[in-house]
Amino acid sequence: MASEAVKDAGSGRSGDASTRTRGRKAKWAALWFVGASAALIHPVYTLVGNRVAPRVLGLPFSLVWVLGWIAANTLVLAWMYRSRVIPAPEDEGGEIRGG
Amino acid sequence: MAAEGSVLGLAFAKPWASAVLCTYLLCVLVLGWLAARRGRGDVSDFVAGERAFGPVVMYFVVGATMFSAYALLGTPQRVVEKGSDVFYILAYGSVGLVPLFFVGARVRRLGARHGFVTQAELVAARFDSRAVALLMAIGTLAAFWPYLVIQLQAAAMVVSWATGWTSPVWGAGLVAAVVCTYVVQGGVRGVGWTNVVQGVGMLVVVWVIGLYLPQRLYGGVGPMFDRVAAEKAAWLVLPEVGETGPGGTSPWSYSSQVLVSALGFSVWPHVFMKCFTAKSARLVQWSVMTYPSFLFFLLPLIFLGYVATLEGGPATDQVLFWLAELPGLEGASTWIGAFLAFAVLAASMSTLDALLHASGAVLVRDLWVGGLGRKLDPSRQPAMMRVAIVVTAALAFMGVASGIELSLVDLLLLGYDFIVQFVPVIFIGLFWRGANRVGAVAGLSVGLLGVLVLQLVGIALPVRPGVLALLPNLAVFVLASRVGQADPEPVLARFFDGPPDAPKNSERSA
């Protein structure tokens, strides 16, 4: 589904450089989330993440692995938000700061 | 536990828990009443809050709505039954809303430009098809009903536990009445404001109790997991391929749960609709970005599940309350029970309200006006939606009162099976000009019928019926679109040729 969304970002009505860069970034971001989903299921999860040790803060690694991906995905989303990878015009008065 | 008390001639098995629940119910009623005093009260206000929700309310609307009673009761239950299989909820949650980051801004923009307030309206307008609205409305209602019944069942269980009233009818009736009151009065603003209170309350209660119990019983979360590793190691990891773990879990069943849920997550109509509710397109993206922080709230529930696993708790939905009455907690037991009861009730109500509110909009806008093509003046729509909300609540209440035995997990997954069928028309339809009306109608019909047939036949399948039906749905949709003619240009123009997407002045730094 994300790949279609990428077209939105990259559909470049005017085809100028910034739109194209944005489209490229959106593609990488979409690819990241496909990879992140793969990391959370069989066979990647079962090969890498699915073990008790090493423990982190007392938690089993099988849980830490999943939590780590949540954190990483949040960072990528934050980057996408900050660098306006997906255009979101009409945001009059909607700029969010802090929380 | 505390002794029985009685107020106004009514007996309460657990007076403190009952008092906490009553206080909470009064609070949300007052909030709903306050919410009703704001806004114009027209359709855009009742359904989409005049498209003016700010960041804090959006955060809790999205977070608290997704955290249903199922998350609170089902998470620890699943740990006891299936061990680390429960991490699937975290796994799909980490990517589930991401599609809305990509499409949400555009959806909000289209909604504001063309006046859409529901998901089906958007899709039906894209294909200029009444049949699409009708099919989506039916699919939505089929998915909503079991979801509503789950929430009411959970609420009824909590009320019964606190008051000692054995029949679920009283609890379900009471909670349905309160939720109806604030949704009917306050519309989406009532839903939003109460969700903030419910969300904060749930987070605090669950974290405090989730850390307190392992600390008190084992000296911390780390030592607790030491014991699990020593005594119940199979509960910490998935089994090897070809083996089955506790509760029959396997790498394949785990992975297919993650996939179906991740795909379906963002197209639940009551979630998707919130794209129309946000104050700005940017805020939709902000909500997607901040949502995963809500997932950490599942951690304490997972901890509680492992406590129950070590202590030999039952693998039922009552396991949370079983924990509250563990020996060795003495005085703390009363408060743990009371606040857990509050948290479950808040979780069930914060989902119930969004579902009821959405079904009001779906019944009136999508089924009646969009699908069946009946005329209904927009000024009269909010009133009709209020009626629809009460009727839906009554139907869900009858589901509980009839005493049907439904497992929480099965019901929720059944809902996902229907909802996942919307994925092609929404995500492909929004971005592919070539997708056409015939394809959309045929794909949706095949998908929804497929789920229904697979459910009725009831044979054991290795994958979810939703996934199985999604394949022909997608195939028919794409094939019919390729073979047939594209939709008329004016229809497409509304969706693809709006004002430029990225005017220069929007390039302010964040």
> Is the same domain home to B153 and B192?
yes
pLDDT in tens, A5-53: 444 444 444 456 677 788 888 889 999 999 999 999 888 888 888 998 8
Asked if B238 lies within 8 A of A58 by C-beta distance, the reply is no
User: Is B463 in contact with B417 (CB distance < 8 Å)?
Assistant: no
Identify whether B88 is part of a domain: yes
Structure tokens at B135: 């099919």
Identify whether B302 is part of a domain: yes
Asked if A45 lies within 8 A of B255 by C-beta distance, the reply is yes
In chain B, the number of structural domains is 2
Closest CA in chain A for residue B241: A46
d(CA B210, CA B267): 31
d(CA B372, CA B69): 34
pLDDT at position A95, please? 43
Instruction: Say which amino acid occupies B225.
Output: F
Only one residue has tokens 């089929």, namely B142
> Is the same domain home to B330 and B442?
no
Domain boundary among the residues B420, B455, B482 is at B420
B280 touches chain A (CB under 8 A): yes
Asked if A4 lies within 8 A of B105 by C-beta distance, the reply is no
Closest CA in chain A for residue B109: A90
> Is the same domain home to B71 and B215?
yes
* Phi, psi (rounded to 5 degrees) for B68: -90, 180
Chain A residues close to B109, C-beta within 8 Å: 89-90
Cα Rg of chain B, angstroms? 23
Chain A residues close to B240, C-beta within 8 Å: 46
Chain A residues close to B99, C-beta within 8 Å: 1-2, 5
Identify whether B219 is part of a domain: yes
Rounded to 5°, angle at Cα B367 from B363 and B371: 165
Identify whether B3 is part of a domain: no
Separation in Å, CA of A91 to nearest CA in chain B: 5
> Is the same domain home to B263 and B346?
yes
- Chain-centre distance for alpha carbon A57: 25
d(CA B189, CA B340): 26
Structure tokens at B137: 């409305």
> Is the same domain home to B91 and B238?
yes
B54 CB neighbour count, 10 Å cutoff:
14
d(CA A41, CA A36): 9
Which residues lie across from B11 on neighbouring strands?
Answer: B6
Asked if B288 lies within 8 A of A77 by C-beta distance, the reply is yes
- Which one, of B136, B370, B469, lies nearest residue B272 by Cα? B136
> Is the same domain home to B358 and B442?
no
User: Is A70 in contact with B93 (CB distance < 8 Å)?
Assistant: yes
Q: Give the closest of A36, A67, A88 to B285, CB-based.
A: A88
Chain A residues close to B508, C-beta within 8 Å: 95
Separation in Å, CA of A33 to nearest CA in chain B: 7
Identify whether B135 is part of a domain: yes
d(CA B371, CA B362): 10
Structure tokens at B492: 């497409």
> Is the same domain home to B215 and B94?
yes
Only one residue has tokens 């927009």, namely B378
- How far separated are the first and last CA of chain B, in Å rounded? 54
pLDDT at position B69, please? 81
Structure tokens at B43: 């359709």
SS in 3 state form for B81-97? HHHHHHHHHHHHHHHHC
- Which one, of B446, B424, B445, B440, lies nearest residue B487 by Cα? B440
Q: Give the closest of A4, A81, A90 to B285, CB-based.
A: A81
> Is the same domain home to B169 and B282?
yes
B286 touches chain A (CB under 8 A): yes
Asked if A4 lies within 8 A of B281 by C-beta distance, the reply is no
B453 touches chain A (CB under 8 A): no
- How far separated are the first and last CA of chain A, in Å rounded? 29
d(CA A9, CA A87): 6
Structure tokens at B495: 């969706």
> Is the same domain home to B342 and B438?
no
Identify whether B505 is part of a domain: no
> Is the same domain home to B337 and B448?
no
> Is the same domain home to B328 and B396?
yes
Q: Give the closest of B55, B223, B507 to A99, CB-based.
A: B55
Chain B residues close to A59, C-beta within 8 Å: 221-222, 225
> Is the same domain home to B355 and B459?
no
Chain B residues close to A40, C-beta within 8 Å: 91-92, 94-95, 258
Identify whether B217 is part of a domain: yes
Is the pLDDT score of A2 beyond 50?
no
Chain A residues close to B123, C-beta within 8 Å: none
| Number of inter-chain CB pairs under 8 A, A vs B | 201
CB proximity under 8 Å: B 104-123 to A: 105-106, 109, 112
- Identify the domain containing residue B278 by its residue range: 14-420
Domain boundary among the residues B393, B420, B447 is at B420
* Phi, psi (rounded to 5 degrees) for B102: -75, -40
CB proximity under 8 Å: B 29-58 to A: 55-56
Q: Give the closest of B91, B102, B430 to A86, CB-based.
A: B102
Asked if A95 lies within 8 A of B506 by C-beta distance, the reply is no
What sign does the dihedral B290-B292-B298-B302 (CA atoms) show? negative
d(CA B192, CA B53): 8
Separation in Å, CA of A65 to nearest CA in chain B: 10
pLDDT of chain B, 510 residues: tens digit per residue: 444 555 555 667 788 888 888 888 888 888 888 877 777 767 777 777 767 777 888 888 788 777 778 788 889 999 999 999 999 999 999 999 999 998 888 888 888 888 888 899 899 999 999 999 999 999 998 888 888 888 888 888 888 888 887 787 888 888 888 888 888 888 878 788 888 888 888 889 999 999 999 999 999 999 999 999 999 989 999 888 888 888 888 888 888 888 888 888 889 888 888 888 888 888 888 889 988 888 888 899 999 999 999 999 898 888 988 998 888 777 788 888 888 888 888 888 888 888 888 888 888 888 888 878 888 888 888 888 889 889 999 988 988 888 766 666 666 777 888 999 999 999 999 888 889 999 999 999 999 999 989 888 867 776 778 888 999 999 999 999 999 888 888 888 888 866 544 443 333 333
B434 touches chain A (CB under 8 A): no
Chain A residues close to B59, C-beta within 8 Å: 99
Instruction: Say which amino acid occupies B411.
Output: L
Which residues make Cβ contacts (< 8 Å) with residue A76, sequence separation at least 6? A29, A32, A33
* Alpha helices (H) in B268-376, listed in sequence order: 269-272, 274-277, 281-295, 298-311, 319-324, 332-361
Identify whether B279 is part of a domain: yes
Chain B residues close to A45, C-beta within 8 Å: 91, 238, 251, 255
Chain A residues close to B502, C-beta within 8 Å: 18-19, 22, 87, 89
Only one residue has tokens 């949370």, namely B320
B226, B285, B478: best to mutate for the A interface, most A CBs within 10 A: B285
Answer whether the bond into residue A43 is a cis peptide, omega within 30°.
Answer: yes
Chain A residues close to B223, C-beta within 8 Å: 58
Domain boundary among the residues B396, B420, B444 is at B420
HSE-up of B469 (CA within 13 Å, CB side)? 26
B8 touches chain A (CB under 8 A): no
Chain B residues close to A19, C-beta within 8 Å: 502
d(CA B354, CA B352): 6
